[in-house]
């Protein structure tokens, strides 16, 4: 309290409360808090791509994002507002002032205590599931379970839980194989699945539900990879068949296609599990391995603790 009149108020109140527990200049311990995502505007001001739907429109500008797979309590939501206020204050003290962000809290369910206790109200415009705080909190809220079931909201509904997530996953897999939503969502979904402990005793109920809900996605992705390899193999086989005989070429093409599909699938799974460890040497080993060896390696993807262990002969 640096202003003299603030100091006056502090002294007057403290002196009058003799015998009470009163501490001057009480320290507020600094606590490191983390923002889930901080998004700054792109140079040139171009908005996010249209295929991101409502999610893209929410992040069109300077924003922070906080994600809650489990519906936050009123206290959880209050701490988000406090953290965001501190973050904006921290940014405002920079020599070069960046765009100060608005916060979006993405909640799977409706946090009634937080909405009522913190004064959130529906966002103007009538879109279901969106709320805003009083102006000086600079925070908005998405209740995923209340969003309209449209393709525009699909990426956000994949952040839901229970039946909302299950329906969104079914919608995702019903889209064409080349749909942008599949390209965006499938890789992180598969990475999330690979991060689940393989030992059932270490899995939470959420883990087990997620594994069941995404089993069809994994199988579909595997079949698509194989089919892509078969298609490429058939094309090469037809070309070879024109020179050596169509029948023989097609048979060889199918065989090569199946093997290429399995190799391609294995490399995708390795990259999602081990990232940058999968280098050119790993790719050459997979390319040179027998079909039987590729199958053995594929079975180890979820159980191996390291890339070296997985690729052991």
The C-alpha angle with vertex 199 and arms to 194 and 200, in degrees rounded to 5, equals 100
Residue 247, token pair as written in the block: 């029948």
Higher-pLDDT residue of 215, 152: 152
Residue 297 has a pLDDT of 84
Summarize the confidence of residues 199-224 as an average pLDDT: 81
Burial of 282 (0-12, 13-18, 19+ CB in 10 A): middle
Weakest-pLDDT range from 15-24, 137-146, 219-228, 251-260:
251-260
How far apart, in whole angstroms, are the C-alpha atoms of residue 91 and residue 215? 43
Tell me the pLDDT band of 226, cut-offs 50, 70 and 90: low
Q: Which of 19-23, 110-114, 124-128, 291-295 has the highest mean pLDDT?
A: 110-114
Answer whether 118's CB lies under 8 Å from 77's CB: yes
For the stretch 72-99, pLDDT in tens is: 999 999 999 999 999 999 999 988 888 9
How far apart, in whole angstroms, are the C-alpha atoms of residue 303 and residue 260? 23
Contacts (Cβ under 8 Å, ≥6 apart) of 10: 1, 24
Determine if the pTM surpasses 0.85. Answer: no
Q: What is the mean pLDDT of the chain?
A: 82
Summarize the confidence of residues 8-36 as an average pLDDT: 72
Answer whether 33's CB lies under 8 Å from 134's CB: no
Summarize the confidence of residues 218-245 as an average pLDDT: 60
3-state secondary structure the chain: CCCHHHHHHHHHHHHHCCCCCCCCCCCCCCCCCCCCEEECCCCCCCCCCHHHHHHHHHCCCCEEEEEECCCCCHHHHHHHHHHHHHHHHHHHCCCCCCCCCEEEEEECCCCHHHHHHCCCEECCCCCCCEEECCHHHCEEEEEHHHCCCCHHHHHHHCCCCHHHHHHHHHHHHHCCCCCHHHHHHHHHHHHHHHCCCCCHHHCCHHHHHHHHHHHHHHHHHHHHHHHHHHHHHHHHHHHHHHHHCHHHHHHHHHHHHHHHHHHHHHHHHHHHHHHHHCCHHHHHHHHHCCHHHHHHHHHCCCCCCCHHHHCCC
How far apart, in whole angstroms, are the C-alpha atoms of residue 203 and residue 218? 19
First to last CA, the chain: 70
Residue 246 has a pLDDT of 45
């Amino acid at each position: 309290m640096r202003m003299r009149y603030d100091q006056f108020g502090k002294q007057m109140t403290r002196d009058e409360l003799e015998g009470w527990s009163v501490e001057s200049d009480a320290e507020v311990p600094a606590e490191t808090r983390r923002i889930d995502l901080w998004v700054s505007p792109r140079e040139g001001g171009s908005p996010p791509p249209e295929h991101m739907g409502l999610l893209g429109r929410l992040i069109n500008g300077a924003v922070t994002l906080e994600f809650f797979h489990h519906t936050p309590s009123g206290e959880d939501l209050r701490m988000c507002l406090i953290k965001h206020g501190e973050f904006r204050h921290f940014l405002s003290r920079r020599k070069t002032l960046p765009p100060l962000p608005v916060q979006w809290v993405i909640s799977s369910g409706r946090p009634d205590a937080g909405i009522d206790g913190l004064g959130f109200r529906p966002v103007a415009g009538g879109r279901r599931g969106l709320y805003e705080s009083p102006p000086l909190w600079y925070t908005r809220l998405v209740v995923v379970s209340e969003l309209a079931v449209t393709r525009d909201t699909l990426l956000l509904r994949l952040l839901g839980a229970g039946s909302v997530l299950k329906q969104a996953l079914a919608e995702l897999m019903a889209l064409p194989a080349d749909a942008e939503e599949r390209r965006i969502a499938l890789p992180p979904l598969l990475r999330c699945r690979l991060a689940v402990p393989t030992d059932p005793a270490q899995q939470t109920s959420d883990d087990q539900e997620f594994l069941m809900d995404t089993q069809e996605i994994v199988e579909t992705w595997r079949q698509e990879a194989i089919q892509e390899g078969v298609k490429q193999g058939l094309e090469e086989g037809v070309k070879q068949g024109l020179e050596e005989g169509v029948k023989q070429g097609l048979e060889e093409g199918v065989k090569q296609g199946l093997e290429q599909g399995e190799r391609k699938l294995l490399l995708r799974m390795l990259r999602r599990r081990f990232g940058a460890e999968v280098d050119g040497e790993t790719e050459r080993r997979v390319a040179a391995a027998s079909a039987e060896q590729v199958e053995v390696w594929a079975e180890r993807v979820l159980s191996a603790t390291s890339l070296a262990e997985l690729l052991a002969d």
